[in-house]
Amino acid sequence: MSADPSLILDGREIPFVPGQTILQAADDAGVYIPRLCDKPGLEPFGSCRVCVVRANGRTVSSCTYPASLGMVVESETPELQAMRKVLLEMLFVEGNHFCMSCEKSGHCELQALGYRFGITAPQFEYQFPHREVDASHPDILIDHNRCILCARCVRTSRDLDGKEVFGFVGRGPHKRLAASTGSRLKDTNADVTDRAIDACPVGALLRKRVGFAVPVGQRPYDTVPIGAPEPVQEARR
């Protein structure tokens, strides 16, 4: 074993910096662990559970669980992949995700993970919830049909934009994203240049009037699958 601290991820020894999470250590080592609510630059959140791994036999979210010396982590096992697939399928059926007419198609992390996991049709019944579109802001639109409650916009607005434009209301299945003012987005200080708009992994938070500007074939996930190894990404860029 080398002098630097390291852990074992799927049989491979990878180094980590003390204080890093398992996910961060894996990223630094070029090993992809699927995730949705995690985003570089934001504090770990651990809500989507797609980054689930088994660490020293315990099932944990790798985005929040600290790496430790000699830890044995399993990620690409059939059991964990099946768990991730179920989580993704649940996200698809909980909302109204109509990829065929969504402007985020080809840019959407949920859709890209759906392809990665070979989800052709969910095993659960669609819930077809009734959800609203908040188009009140002149330049930004919230389509609640597609929100997966990852809180990336909430955290980005608070931690990077310094605004707290977004928050959550309701509990359990009734939980939903809301303007932090409690009313509509037009009543907040949200601005089209906010980094929070780009934080959304799906098509829930959108800049208005720019949809479909990128042709099919040139969208990010048209050419490079999500989680592709760095050499593949380089080759296809």
Partner 1 sequence: MEATSGRRIVIEPVTRVEGHGKVTILLDAEGHVERARFHVVEFRGFERFIQGRPYWEVPVAVQRLCGICPVSHHLCAAKAMDRIVGGEKLTPTAEKMRRLMHYGQTFQSHALHFFHLASPDLLFGFGSDVNARHVLGIAAKFPDLARQGILMRKYGQEIIRLTAGKKVHGTGAIPGGINKNLSLAERDLLLQDLAQMKDWARATVQLARDYTLAHIDMLGGFGSFPSNHMCLVRADGALDLYDGGLRAVDAQGRTIFDHVDPQRYLDFIAEEVKPWSYMKFPFIKSLGPEHGWYRVGPLSRISACSFIDTPLAEAARQEFMQVAGGKPSAVTMAYHWARMIELLHAVEKIDELLHDRDLQGTDLVVKGERRGEAVAIIEAPRGTLFHHYKVDENDQVTMANLIVSTTSNNEPMNRAVESVARQFLDGVEITEGLLNHVEVAIRAYDPCLSCATHALGQMPLDVQVVDAAGQVVGRRVKGSKER
**Can residue 99 be called a binding residue for partner 1 (CB under 8 A)?**
no
Binding mask 178-197 for partner 1 (x = CB under 8 A): --------------------
**Can residue 211 be called a binding residue for partner 1 (CB under 8 A)?**
yes
Q: Select the residue interacting with partner 1 from 212, 229, 232, 234 (CB under 8 A).
A: 212
Q: Which is nearer to partner 1, 106 or 122 (CB)?
A: 106
CB of 228 to partner 1, least distance (A): 21
Q: Distance (Å, rounded) from C-alpha 186 to C-alpha 135? A: 8
For the chain, how far is it from start to end, CA to CA, in angstroms?
36
CB 44 within 8 A of CB 63: yes
CB of 12 to partner 1, least distance (A): 39
> Would you tell me the crossing angle of helices 109-116 and 78-94 to the nearest 10 degrees?
140
186-190: long-range pairs with CB below 8 Å, 24+: 186/136, 186/137, 186/138, 187/136, 188/137, 188/163, 189/163, 189/165, 190/137, 190/140, 190/157, 190/163, 190/165
Q: Which is nearer to partner 1, 54 or 186 (CB)?
A: 186
> Of residues 51-90, which lie at the interface with partner 1 (CB under 8 A)?
none
For the beta sheet containing 133-134, the strands, ordered from the edge strand earlier in sequence to the opposite edge, are: 133-134, 140-143, 205-207
**Can residue 128 be called a binding residue for partner 1 (CB under 8 A)?**
no
**Stretch of residues binding partner 1 (CB under 8 A), selected from 14-22, 78-86, 114-122, 213-221:** 213-221
Tokens of 42: 């934001």
**Can residue 121 be called a binding residue for partner 1 (CB under 8 A)?**
no
Residues that bind partner 1 (CB under 8 A): 100-103, 133, 135-136, 141, 206, 208-218
